[in-house]
Amino acid sequence: MEKKNQFVIAVYVDNQFGVLTRVTSMFTRRGFNIDALTVGETESPAYSRITISLSGDGYAREQLINQLRKLYNVKKVEVLEDDCIQRELMLIKVKNSPAYRQEVLSAVDVYRAKVIDYTVDEMSIEITGDPSKIDAFVKLMMFYGIIIEMCRTGIVALERGSNTLLNK
């Protein structure tokens, strides 16, 4: 068995109504399990960029890419290099209890996160970084047992250097 790896795929699609459905419907039909998916505008108004992260073996990766390329509104599919720039944003709401307040604020400082709401019984924190940093922060908050609610955007990623995927 080939070992499972985490990989990131960037997909340029026509910036049109219904295209995201076409992509996600294909995932469902072919049984691909996606860890995270983000979609948004790009440098070209004609295209949207979908960033998909998933774990799987080489076979799964090859199948996913092939099936994506078959969709008519998909213009470009690239597996990003391991050293690509990856960022994710998380909003997390934790209990504002005197027992942990200092620890949380220290963590916010160390992780270069930001407290964006502060009430008598909760703190909301914004943190940006690569997914492993966010994971570590979540783990820490879990250790304190103070998480009320959280949501993560899923990653966006760009390759290093001046090349763009569209002209690659």
Shortest approach of another protein to residue 77 CB, angstroms? 12
Between residues 15 and 63, which has the closer beta carbon with respect to another protein? 63
Between residues 60 and 113, which has the closer beta carbon with respect to another protein? 60
Positive or negative, the Cα torsion across 14, 18, 20, 26? negative
Shortest approach of another protein to residue 134 CB, angstroms? 33
Binding residues (CB under 8 A) for another protein: these are 17-18, 21-22, 25-26, 28-29, 59, 62-63, 66-67, 69-72
Between residues 3 and 17, which has the closer beta carbon with respect to another protein? 17
Shortest approach of another protein to residue 163 CB, angstroms? 24
Whether the Cβ atoms of residue 9 and residue 51 lie closer than 8 Å to each other: yes
Shortest approach of another protein to residue 70 CB, angstroms? 5
What is the C-alpha to C-alpha distance for residues 143 and 163, in angstroms, rounded to an integer? 42
- Residue 135's contacts (CB-CB under 8 Å, 6 or more residues apart) are none
Between residues 50 and 157, which has the closer beta carbon with respect to another protein? 50
